[in-house]
A and B are shown apart, each in its own frame.
Chain A
Amino acid sequence: MEIVMSILAGILFTTGIYNLLQKQMLRIIIGTALISHGAHLFILTMGELKRGKPPVLSDDIVNYSDPLPQALILTSIVISFGVTSLLLVLAYRASKENGTDNMEKLRGNEND
Chain B
Amino acid sequence: MLFAVFLPVLLAIFIPYLSKWKENIHTGYFVLLAPLAVFLYFIPHIGNDFTPIIQSFNWIPSMDIGFDFYLDGLSLLFVLLISGIGTLVTLYSIFYLHTSERLDQFYVYLLIFMTAMFGVVLSDNVFVLYAFWELTSISSFLLIGYWNYKERSRYGALKSMLITIFGGLSMFGGFILLTSITGTTSIQEMIEQTDTILSSPYFGLILALLLLGAFTKSAQFPFHIWLPDAMEAPTPVSAYLHSATMVKAGIFLVARFSPIFSESDWFFVLVSGFGIITLIWGSFMAVRQTDLKGILAFSTISQLGMIMAMLGFGTKLAIYAAVFHILNHATFKGSLFMIAGIVDHESGTRDIRKLGGLATLMPISATLAFFGTFSMAGVPLPFLNGFYSKELFFDASLELHESSIAFANVLAQAIPYLAVFGSIFTFVYSMYLVFGTFMGKKKLDQLPAKPHEAPVGMLISPIILVVGVVIIGLFPNLVNSTFLAHTAEAIYGAPVEKHVQFWHGWNSPPLYMSLVVVGFGTVLALTIKHWSNIYQYLPGKLSLNKVYDFLVDQFEKTSARITNSYMNGSLNRYMSLILIAIVVCTFGILWITDGFAWDTSNLAEITLHEILIAAAMAVAAIFTIFTINKVASILVLGVVGYGLSLLFILYSAPDLALTQLVVETITVALFLLCFYHLPKLRERNESKTKKLSNLIISVGFGAMMTIIAISAHSTKLFEKISDYFLETSHDIGGGDNVVNVILVDMRGIDTLFEIVVLGIAALAIYGLIKLRNKKGAK
Q: Which A residues have a C-beta under 8 Å from some C-beta of B?
A: 1-27, 29-30, 33-34, 37-38, 40-42, 44-58, 64-68, 70-71, 73-75, 77-79, 81-86, 88-93, 95-97, 100-101, 103-104, 106-108
Question: Looking at the complex, which of B477-485, B507-515, B697-705 is the stretch in contact with chain A?
Answer: B697-705
> Residue of B at shortest CB range from A42?
B709
Name the interface residues of B611-667: CB closer than 8 Å to any CB of A: 611, 614, 617-618, 621-622, 624-625, 630, 633, 637, 640-641, 644, 647-648, 651-656, 659-660, 663, 666-667
A11-B621, A44-B651, A65-B651 in contact; A2/B739 too (CB < 8 A)? Answer: no
Q: Which listed residue (B572, B706, B743) contacts A6, Cβ 8 A? A: B706
B586 to A: closest C-beta gap in Å: 13
Given contacts A33-B641, A71-B747, 12 further A-B contacts (CB under 8 A): A6-B706, A26-B675, A44-B648, A45-B709, A51-B652, A71-B742, A73-B653, A75-B750, A88-B674, A91-B678, A95-B679, A103-B571
Q: Is the CB of A56 within 8 A of B737?
A: yes
Q: Are A26 and B742 CB-contacts (below 8 A) given A11-B702, A90-B768?
A: no
- Interface assignment of B449: CB less than 8 Å from any CB of chain A: no
Determine if B721 is an interface residue (Cβ-Cβ < 8 Å).
Answer: yes
Cα distance A58–B701 when bound, in Å? 42
Distance (whole angstroms) from the CB of A76 to the closest CB of chain B = 9
Contact of A22 among B569, B684, B713 (CB under 8 A): B684
Please list the residues of chain B having a beta carbon within 8 angstroms of any beta carbon in chain A.
Answer: 569-572, 575-576, 579, 600, 602-607, 610-611, 614, 617-618, 621-622, 624-625, 630, 633, 637, 640-641, 644, 647-648, 651-656, 659-660, 663, 666-667, 670-671, 674-675, 677-679, 681-682, 684, 686, 694-695, 697-699, 701-703, 705-706, 709-710, 712-713, 720-722, 725-726, 729-730, 736-739, 742-743, 747, 750-751, 754, 757-758, 760-762, 764-765, 768-769, 776, 778
- Complex-state Cα separation, A104 to B553, whole angstroms: 32
What is the CA–CA distance of A57 and B726 in the complex, to the nearest angstrom? 8
Give 25 CB contacts A-B under 8 Å.
Answer: A1-B610, A11-B618, A12-B621, A13-B705, A14-B698, A14-B702, A18-B694, A20-B575, A21-B698, A27-B681, A33-B641, A51-B604, A67-B722, A71-B739, A74-B659, A75-B750, A77-B659, A77-B660, A78-B757, A81-B758, A84-B670, A86-B765, A88-B670, A88-B674, A93-B769
Residues A82 and B743 in contact in the complex (CB < 8 Å), given A4-B610, A91-B674: no
User: Which residue from chain A places its CB closest to the CB of B614 in the assembled complex?
Assistant: A8
Contacts of B576 in A (CB 8 A): 21
Are B570 and A104 within 8 A (Cβ)?
yes
In the complex, the answer to whether A103 meets B743 with C-beta atoms within 8 Å is: no
**Which 5 A-B pairs give the minimum distances between C-beta atoms?**
A14-B702, A10-B706, A82-B761, A6-B709, A17-B698
Contact present for B637 and A30 (CB under 8 Å): yes
Asked if A37 and B768 sit within 8 Å, CB to CB, the answer is no
List of B residues within 8 angstroms of A82 by Cβ: 757-758, 760-762
Residues A24 and B722 in contact, CB atoms below 8 Å apart:
no
Q: Do the beta carbons of A34 and B621 come within 8 Å of each other?
A: yes
Q: How far is the CA of A25 from the CA of B426 in the complex (A)?
A: 74
Q: Is the CB of B621 within 8 A of A23?
A: no
Chain B residues in 8 Å Cβ range of A108: 569
- Name the residue of chain A whose CB is nearest to the CB of B658: A74
Chain A at the B interface: mostly helix, strand, loop or mixed?
Answer: helix
List residues of chain B with CB within 8 A of the CB of A22.
572, 684, 694
- The docked-state distance in angstroms from the alpha carbon of A20 to that of B625 is 10
Q: How far, in angstroms, from A101 to B737 measured CA to CA in the complex?
A: 45
Q: CA separation between A50 and B737, bound complex, in Å? A: 19
**Neighbouring A residues of B726 by C-beta, 8 Å:** 55, 57, 64, 67
> Closest chain B residue to A15 by CB distance?
B621
Pair B761/A68 contact, Cβ less than 8 Å: no
List chain B residues, Cβ under 8 A from A20: 575, 698
Q: How many whole Å from A77's CB to the nearest CB in chain B? A: 5
Complex CA distance for A41 and B730, rounded to whole angstroms: 28
Question: Which of chain A's residues has its CB closest to B600's CB?
Answer: A3
The residue on A at minimum CB distance from B720 is: A66
Complex CA–CA separation, A64 to B350 (angstroms): 95
- Closest Cβ of chain A to B72, distance in Å, is 59
Complex Cα distance, B680 from A100, in Å, reads 11
A10 touches B713 (CB 8 A): no
The docked-state distance in angstroms from the alpha carbon of A49 to that of B641 is 19
Q: Tell me, in angstroms, the Cα distance from A1 to B34 when the chains sit together.
A: 85
Least Cβ distance of B660 to chain A in Å? 6
B426 to chain A minimum Cβ distance, whole angstroms, is 55
Residues of B with C-beta under 8 A to A10? 702-703, 705-706, 709
- What residues of A have a CB within 8 angstroms of the CB of B738 in the complex? 55-57, 64, 67
| Interface contact A55-B739, CB-CB below 8 Å | yes
**Once the chains bind, are B682 and A24 in contact (CB under 8 Å)?**
yes
Complex contacts, B663 vs chain A, CB 8 Å? 77-78, 81
Q: How far is the CA of A24 from the CA of B709 in the complex (A)?
A: 30
- Which chain B residues lie closer than 8 Å to A83 at the CB level? 757, 761
Q: Is the CB of A13 within 8 A of B701?
A: yes
Closest A residue to B666 by beta carbon equals A81
Please state if B743 and A71 are interface contacts (CB–CB under 8 Å): yes
Would you call A85 and B618 a contact (CB within 8 A)? Answer: no
A85, B678: Cβ atoms closer than 8 Å: no
* A24 to B: closest C-beta gap in Å: 7
Say yes or no: B644 contacts A57, CB within 8 Å. no
- Determine if A65 and B652 form an interchain contact, defined as CB atoms under 8 angstroms apart: yes
Contacts of A55 in B (CB 8 A): 652, 726, 737-739
List chain B residues, Cβ under 8 A from A106: 571
Asked whether, in the complex, the Cβ of A41 is within 8 Å of the Cβ of B647, the reply is yes
Q: Quick one: which of A21, A25, A51, A86 has the most chain B CB within 10 A? A: A21
Separation in Å of the A22 CB from the closest CB of chain B? 7
Q: Contact at B743–A75, with CB atoms within 8 Å?
A: yes
Knowing A64-B738, A70-B655, A104-B570, the reply to whether A57 touches B637 (Cβ < 8 A) is no
Contacts of A68 in B (CB 8 A): 720-722, 725, 742
Given contacts A4-B606, A26-B675, A51-B604, contact A34 B667 (CB under 8 A): no
- CA of A11 to CA of B761 in the docked complex: distance in angstroms? 29
Contacts of B678 in A (CB 8 A): 25-26, 91-92, 95, 101
Residues of chain A lying within 8 A (CB to CB) of residue B659: 74, 77-78
Residues of B with C-beta under 8 A to A8: 614, 617-618
CB distance from B677 to the nearest CB of A (A): 5
Q: Hey, which chain B residues are within 8 Å of A92, CB to CB?
A: 674, 677-678
A12 to B611, CA, bound (A): 15
Separation in Å of the B773 CB from the closest CB of chain A?
9
Q: Are A37 and B572 in contact, with the CB atoms below 8 A?
A: no
Q: Tell me the bound Cα distance from A89 to B697 in angstroms.
A: 28
Q: Are A81 and B667 in contact (CB under 8 A)?
A: yes
User: Looking at A29, A52, A66, A91, which has the most chain B CB atoms within 10 Å of its CB?
Assistant: A66
Cα A4 to Cα B572 in complex, Å, equals 31
Looking at the assembled complex, report how far the CB atom of A53 sits from the nearest CB atom of chain B, in whole angstroms: 6
Contact across chains for A17 and B572 when beta carbons are under 8 A apart: no
Residues in B neighbouring A86, C-beta threshold 8 A? 761, 764-765
CB distance from B719 to the nearest CB of A (A): 12
With beta carbons under 8 angstroms apart, the residue of A25, A53, A79 that contacts B754 is A79
Closest to B744 in A: A71
Structural contact, A44 and B621, CB atoms closer than 8 A: no
CA distance A19 to B743 in the complex (A): 33
Is there an interface contact between B674 and A1, defined as CB atoms closer than 8 Å?
no
**In the complex the two chains form, what is the Cα distance from A41 to B643 in whole Å?**
11
The answer on a CB contact under 8 Å between B720 and A85 is: no
- Chain B residues with CB under 8 Å of A51's CB are 604, 652
Q: Is the CB of B705 within 8 A of A23?
A: no
Known A-B contacts A22-B684, A67-B739, A97-B776; the reply to A45 vs B713 at CB < 8 A is: yes
Chain B residues with CB below 8 A from A16, complex form? 621, 698
When distances are taken between beta carbons in the complex, the residues of chain A under 8 Å from B776 are: 97
